[in-house]
Amino acid sequence: MQEESFFADPRSWVAAAFVIFFVLFGAKLWKALAGMLDKRTEAVRAELDEASRLRREAEAMLADASKRREAALAEAKALLDGARAEAGRLAKASAEEAAHAATRREQMALDRIAAAEKAAVDEVRITAADVACVAAERVIREGLTAGADAALIDHAIGNIATALAPRRAA
């Protein structure tokens, strides 16, 4: 078997060329690769920072929306409570007004009844007075003679002093 020399084997030259290539251009390749990787790292870091910033903004917006929602719910609850209170007050006021109206109508009816009773009593008194006058006129015309008439006048004149005297409280 023959030993081949290192320089006679083409694989050795390929390996040596590969090593020389990397020694000469390795630093430039490394810088280029490192620069690309650094750029990619910076881009990823910038994207992560942007994502973090967007997340913070989204969380702030969510917190703000939650606060506004809670405030809107509280305002709606306050409006409902106010509306319920107002409805209760209006119902109470309406009931009181209806009661007052019924009382007024009842009083007006009682006043009308009292006025009608008074008018009826006055009419009965007037009629009774008319009947009494007519009856007294008839009695006087038919039953009183000139002598009885003079006796009544004398008796009335005799009692004038007692009729005109001041009355004392008993």
Question: What mean pLDDT is predicted for residues 46-56?
Answer: 96
Locus of tokens 């038919």:
142
Q: Could you tell me if residue 3 is inside a domain?
A: no
Cα→Cα distances 121→69, 107, 115, 126, Å: 76, 21, 10, 9
For 55, half-sphere exposure in the C-beta direction (CA atoms, 13 angstrom radius) is 6
Q: Which two tokens stand for residue 16?
A: 């040596």
In this model, does residue 29 exceed pLDDT 50?
Answer: yes
What is the per-residue pLDDT for 3? 59
Residue 12, number of CB atoms within 10 A of its CB:
13
Q: Could you tell me if residue 103 is inside a domain?
A: yes
Higher per-residue pLDDT: 101 or 137: 101
Residues 6+ apart with CB under 8 A from 6: 12
In this model, does residue 147 exceed pLDDT 80?
Answer: no
What is the per-residue pLDDT for 111? 94
The C-alpha atoms of residue 98 and residue 119 are separated, in whole angstroms, by 31
Structural domain containing residue 91: 10-164
Q: Could you tell me if residue 126 is inside a domain?
A: yes
Q: Could you tell me if residue 124 is inside a domain?
A: yes
The mean pLDDT of the chain is 87
What is the per-residue pLDDT for 1? 45
What is the per-residue pLDDT for 24? 86
Mapping DSSP to helix (H, G, I), strand (E, B) and coil, where does residue 154 land? helix
In this model, does residue 161 exceed pLDDT 90?
Answer: no
The CA-based angle 20-38-27, given to 5 degrees, is 15
Long-range contacts of 116-123 (CB under 8 A, 24+ apart): none
| Amino acid sitting at position 128 | A
Q: Could you tell me if residue 1 is inside a domain?
A: no
Q: Which two tokens stand for residue 169?
A: 């409280």
The C-alpha atoms of residue 145 and residue 152 are separated, in whole angstroms, by 11
Q: Please tell me the total count of domains within the chain.
A: 1
Q: Could you tell me if residue 116 is inside a domain?
A: yes
Q: Could you tell me if residue 113 is inside a domain?
A: yes
Q: Could you tell me if residue 170 is inside a domain?
A: no
Residues 6+ apart with CB under 8 A from 22: 29
